[in-house]
């Protein structure tokens, strides 16, 4: 056996040992014998859902503070062009519900403004089309993102029928006020898609989504599988609709009309 081959086999053996040790470390840290303790404050659900009361939340002025709270918390850049980045925004009833059946509805309902965000669908097309699994659905129904895996192909944007995703065409950090930066939430980079996450980082520490807290009772949030949750109670006591139900995505965001 020549010298180069001997060195190669020695290197390969050491690499294999290292990989095995690394794999066992990963397994240990992900459960089983992991020394890490679960966070007792974490809020759990089988299927998180949001119910928005458009009778209370129906103007740009009412929705703007909620968008501001969401965007400030998640370092969403304020891009002064039509290529803006948004997680939560206001739209007309016609835009939100293009298949709303009653063209003779009351003017008060017809001219309401509606708060829009990611619908966290039970059957999310964005997850199916993402080639890198940067977009994925959690066991609790939340559709979220791994920004490091996003390659900027924008397939998820094409797949989403609700326009809930934004693409960073430029450098988003150039449009952030560094003095007001939330250092507990990561900033993104150019070429990455982003969207609402139902504030998963707040749920992990026992807090409700920022927009829910800022809504003064106009948004109900809870577990669809729990008949006593605020979301189920709101659905039971009110008439609600969802966006584009004919598409079969099964949105987890409901609207009280």
The DSSP result for 10-29, as a single string, is HHHHHHHHHHHHHHHHHHHH
109/27 same-domain check:
no
Q: Please state the pTM of the whole predicted model.
A: 0.83
Residue 144, strand partner residues = 136
Same-domain pairing of 180 and 109: yes
| pLDDT string in tens for the chain (257-residue length) | 444 444 434 434 433 434 333 333 333 333 333 334 457 889 999 999 999 999 999 999 999 999 999 999 999 999 987 789 999 999 999 999 998 767 788 889 999 999 999 999 999 999 999 999 999 999 999 999 999 999 999 999 999 999 999 999 999 999 999 899 999 999 999 999 999 999 999 999 999 999 999 999 999 999 999 999 999 999 999 999 999 999 999 999 999 99
Going by their DSSP bridges, the two strands 48-53 and 253-256 should be labelled as parallel
Q: Which two tokens stand for residue 94?
A: 């016609």
pLDDT of res. 219: 98
Q: Among residues 168, 165, 146, 144, which one has the least CA distance to residue 155?
A: 165
Same domain (yes/no): 21, 117: no
CA angle 78-221-251, nearest 5°?
Answer: 75
Residues 183 and 120 in one domain: yes
Task: Tell whether 138 is covered by a domain.
Answer: yes
In a domain, 68, yes or no: yes
Q: How far apart are CA 19 and CA 123, in angstroms?
A: 36
Examine residue 43 and state whether it is found in any structural domain, yes or no: no
- 82 shares a domain with 2: no
Asked if residue 84 and residue 19 are part of one domain, the reply reads no
- Residue 123 covered by a domain: yes
Tell me, yes or no, whether 82 and 142 share the same domain: yes
Q: Does the residue 53 lie in any domain?
A: yes
DSSP code of residue 170:
S
Parent domain of 101: 48-256
Does residue 22 share a domain with residue 115? no
Is residue 42 situated within a structural domain? no
Q: What is the total count of domains within the chain?
A: 2
Is residue 206, in this structure, part of any structural domain at all?
A: yes
249 and 196 within one domain:
yes
Residues 12 and 93 grouped into a single domain? no
Question: Does residue 232 share a domain with residue 188?
Answer: yes
| Domain membership flag for residue 251 | yes
Co-location of 1 and 85 in the same domain: no
How many Cβ atoms from other residues are within 10 Å of residue 239's Cβ? 8
How many Å apart are CA 235 and CA 161, to the nearest integer? 24
The answer to whether 185 and 27 are in contact (CB under 8 A) is no
Of 104, 77, 81, the closest CA to residue 194 belongs to 77
Report the CATH number that the domain containing residue 237 is assigned in CATH.
3.30.70.20
Cβ atoms of residues 50 and 196 within 8 Å: no
């Amino acid at each position: 056996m020549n010298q180069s081959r001997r060195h190669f086999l020695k290197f390969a053996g050491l690499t294999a040992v290292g990989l095995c040790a690394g794999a066992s470390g990963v397994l240990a840290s992900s459960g089983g014998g992991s020394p890490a303790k679960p966070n007792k404050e974490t809020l759990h659900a089988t299927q998180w859902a949001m119910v928005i009361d458009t009778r209370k939340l129906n103007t740009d002025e009412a929705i703007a503070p909620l968008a501001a709270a969401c965007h400030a918390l998640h370092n969403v850049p304020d891009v002064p062009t039509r290529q803006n980045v948004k997680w939560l925004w206001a739209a007309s009833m016609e835009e939100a519900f293009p298949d709303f059946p009653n063209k003779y509805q009351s003017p008060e309902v017809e001219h309401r403004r509606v708060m829009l965000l990611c619908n966290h669908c039970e059957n999310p097309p964005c997850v199916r089309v993402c080639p890198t699994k940067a977009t994925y659905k959690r066991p609790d129904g939340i559709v979220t993102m791994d920004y490091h895996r996003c390659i900027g192909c924008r397939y998820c944007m094409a797949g989403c029928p609700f326009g809930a995703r934004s693409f960073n065409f430029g450098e988003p950090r150039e449009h952030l006020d560094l003095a007001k930066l939330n250092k507990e939430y990561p900033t993104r980079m150019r070429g990455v898609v982003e969207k609402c996450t139902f504030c998963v980082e707040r749920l992990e520490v026992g807090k409700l989504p920022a927009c829910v807290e800022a809504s003064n009772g106009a948004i109900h949030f809870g577990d669809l599988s729990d008949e006593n949750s605020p979301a189920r109670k709101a659905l039971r006591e009110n008439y609600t609709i969802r966006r584009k139900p004919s598409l079969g995505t099964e949105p987890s965001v409901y609207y009280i009309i």
